[in-house]
Structure 1
């Protein structure tokens, strides 16, 4: 009888911990995100966002669009001529209140580097990315979907 009671308590604690970890994950932009092509609205890539010392960055881990460039020929920085797979396209984002700002994002399709702001939506299942040059008013917004 004691073993069953101990098992029940242990199982309950594990469920509680799993729920807490899941809630914390949805409160952060860290994780895998499906991006979409602006023109076709078709899935374009998977970006893995990670955090180190309060700074968020993102790497392309999978290309979903067969027509997307595999080499960043239009890049103008050190990424020129490098494979898009594994490339860091998002850098230096920091959490400010309920959004993330101060960072940059590279569009491998045109080689442009934009300022970036992000905000979680729908209990952390969606991420609005605002990419712009100069001021946020002069930009575009994409919605990324969290990968399960």
Structure 2
């Protein structure tokens, strides 16, 4: 009986750690050039794929009525608040990496191939957008 109780205690206390190693949750993205917080993005799982929505804009010059003027797909002229910027990322087999999706940069309207890797126990998320061999990585911070 003691072994069973110990196993239950382990599972209950370890479960939050496992959950944190997923990109699912609320993240603050920080501009890799200026170091300024730009936005908060809510990542959700839907049918095994991750999507991310721009939930809050933190830039000083952000206006609630701003639209995605540079977008060229179905997001063209849609409000930036609530805009889906991450689409179709899936967990890589046998790795704590989510890839295969796309991430939109609403400032230039470009879609980049996406790779997300939780680091530091899930407190941070390395988000890499690339086109071919070229790309850049930002580190997002989990919002508690």
Structure 1 match to 2:72: 76
The runs of 5 or more residues in structure 1 that have no matched partner are 1-12
Between 66-75 and 41-50, report the one with greater CA deviation: 66-75
In the alignment, is residue 24 of structure 1 matched against residue 24 of structure 2? no
TM-score with structure 2 setting the length: 0.85
Higher relative contact order, structure no. (Cα contacts within 8 Å, ≥ 6 residues apart)? 2
Say what the alpha-carbon RMSD is for the aligned residues: 2.0
**Of 112, 121, 124, which residue of structure 1 is paired with 2:122?**
124
The alpha carbon displacement at 1:83 in A equals 0.4
In 1: Cα distance, 2:108 partner to 2:32 partner: 12
Alpha-carbon distance, 1:142 to partner: 0.4
For structure 2, the 5+ residue unaligned runs are 1-7
SS at match of 2:19: helix
Q: Secondary structure at the match of 2:77?
A: coil
Secondary structure class of the residue paired with 1:104:
strand
1:68 to partner: Cα distance:
4.1
Alpha-carbon offset, residue 21 of structure 1: 4.1
| Partner-residue secondary structure (3-state), 1:35 | strand
Decide whether the 8 Å contact of 1:44 with 1:68 is kept in 2: no
Aligned residue for 1:48?
42
1:114 aligned to which of 112, 115, 134: 112
TM superposition outliers: structure 1 runs of 4+ over 4 Å: none
Given that 2:50 and 2:89 are in contact with CA atoms closer than 8 Å, whether structure 1 keeps it comes out as: yes
Aligned residues: 134
Residue of structure 1 aligned with 2:54, choices 55, 60, 64:
60
Mark the structure with the bigger radius of gyration: 1
* Residues 44 and 50 in structure 2, CA contact (< 8 A), matched pair in contact too: yes
